[in-house]
Amino acid sequence: MVLTYNGLDKQGQPTYGGYSSHIVVNEQYVLKVPPALPLTGVAPLLCAGITTYSPLRKWGVGKGHTLGVIGLGGLGHMAVKFGKAFGAKVTVFSRSDRKQKEAERLGATDFATISQPEIFTRLGRKFDYLIDTISGAHDYNGYLDLLKTDGTYILVGAPAEPISIKAFSLILRRRRLVGSLIGGIRETQEMLDFCGEHGITSDVEVIPIQHINDAYERALLGDVRFRFVIDLKSMAENTP
Amino acid sequence: MVLTYNGLDKQGQPTYGGYSSHIVVNEQYVLKVPPALPLTGVAPLLCAGITTYSPLRKWGVGKGHTLGVIGLGGLGHMAVKFGKAFGAKVTVFSRSDRKQKEAERLGATDFATISQPEIFTRLGRKFDYLIDTISGAHDYNGYLDLLKTDGTYILVGAPAEPISIKAFSLILRRRRLVGSLIGGIRETQEMLDFCGEHGITSDVEVIPIQHINDAYERALLGDVRFRFVIDLKSMAENTP
């Protein structure tokens, strides 16, 4: 298999992952994309999509549940779409009200700007589930206290440094803090099929390879709705 | 109800909890003790017993599972007994080898002295479940890495200060950190019935009320096997 980027193949040559013109794949690792879905919006489903689909399914998010999505980026916007499709009432937590309209468009029924601390009182013990998509350092305990008894706090993003958790917030209300990384091939196919049935894709900005440096700078600033997808046809074109 | 200690009753008089000579209880809060069990060994089941029974049941500890019990005190010794009775293979983690014989007598099949860091290599990714009964500050991340994929780390003791958790240990292996406080009346009765069927009680040292100060000092030193129980008949005797 020559799937990873910058590995070495059997001849000792570097591999190009998704930038390859041809790849050889074991058939057990090939996925079937529902034909009705546009490929550009499907590409991020294989990362942001399955990363959020898998834990929401595993922990049983469904009809009538309350789900809080912390952070509205590539992962967060998929968590909103899946949460809504599974029947949950979704609240988005974001740093400012800049993304409120986007959140509503994606299917959220409530929006909370965490720069206003009163939301932690207003929403206290209201949630069955939280999914935290933020990879930077931030406070976890304010969110933990938003969970009902037996509530589940799902981590799919996290900083490399240890995080600080009030154990008694877990103990007193029998809450749980759980991690999830990605999903297996079988579950990824299930997710793609679900997306086909419900018309779900990632919201993307398609760019030619020549714009990669701009896109990189914008991604660092969080200025992307919600994933960049490179059109590899542009590889054949001259650089501008 | 006049059940708590040092509350106020309807007449504004202080209440004596378990030290009362008479109490009035709503029948829904009365438990039935299996007649074969000695009352002295049953008393701590209503606290240390149900505190460990409830999360081990809720998270499905059973036949063939590996369970690590962190700390061998009042809670820990009950977790060993229940874990064994549920069919799990139990390892005790303790600060020194002082309690190794006790751990084996209680039903543990393995014992690890955490002053020897090599145990964290030897036992890496070996456990389906861990139950942490330690209320003092200590490291959690070494233990977290002992869990298999999808493993469960149950907190029933914890320090008041926030604890430091490596989120990526949860994320990379889909582990979960869960809290549990006690159990409800229905589950407490289920626990008592289970104890009656399996001949399980707490290991206790019965003391007269006159020895309470010595017992208090010994409890602070962790020098008790594994709970003190006061024989309230001694209340009627002269102090020595």
The 10s digit of each residue's pLDDT in B44-94 is: 999 999 999 999 999 999 999 999 999 999 999 999 999 999 999 999 999
Taking residue B151's Cβ as centre, other Cβ atoms within 10 Å add up to 23
The helix (H) or strand (E) run that includes residue A145 is none
For residue range A84-99, what is the model confidence (pLDDT) as tens digits?
999 999 999 999 899 9
For residue range A151-209, what is the model confidence (pLDDT) as tens digits?
999 999 999 999 999 999 999 999 999 999 999 999 999 999 999 999 999 999 999 99
Total CB pairs under 8 A between chain A and B: 92
Would you say B36 and B165 are in contact if contact means Cβ atoms under 8 Å apart? no
Contact A177 B174 (CB under 8 A): no
Q: Complex ipTM, two decimals?
A: 0.92
- Give the whole-angstrom CA distance, residue A203 versus residue A224: 10
Q: What pLDDT was estimated at residue B238?
A: 60
Q: Which residues of A92-110 are buried (b: 16+ CB within 10 A; e: fewer)?
A: bbbeeeebbebbeebbbeb
- Give the whole-angstrom CA distance, residue A118 versus residue A120: 5
Provide the β-strand partners of residue B69.
B92, B131
| Integer angstrom CA distances of residue B29 from A41, A64, B1, B10, B184 | 57, 32, 10, 19, 10
Q: Looking at chain A, which residue has its C-alpha nearest residue B170?
A: A179
Provide the β-strand partners of residue B227.
B204
pLDDT at B1 over 50: no
Structure tokens at B68: 């690590």
Structure tokens at B156: 């029933």
Residue B168, chain A, CB below 8 Å: the answer is yes
More reliable by pLDDT, B148 or B6: B148
Tell the residue number behind the tokens 């059997």, with chain if given: A10
Q: Are strands B14-16 and B5-8 parallel, antiparallel or unpaired?
A: antiparallel
Tell how many helices (H) and how many strands (E) occur in chain A. Answer: 9, 11
DSSP letter at A239?
P
- Whether a cis peptide bond, with omega within 30° of 0, leads into A226 is yes
**Rounded mean pLDDT, B163-189:** 97
Tell me which residues of chain A, numbers 135 to 164, contact chain B at a CB-CB cutoff of 8 Å: 141, 155-156, 158-160, 162-164
Residue B96, chain A, CB below 8 Å: the answer is no
- Give the whole-angstrom CA distance, residue A3 versus residue B48: 53
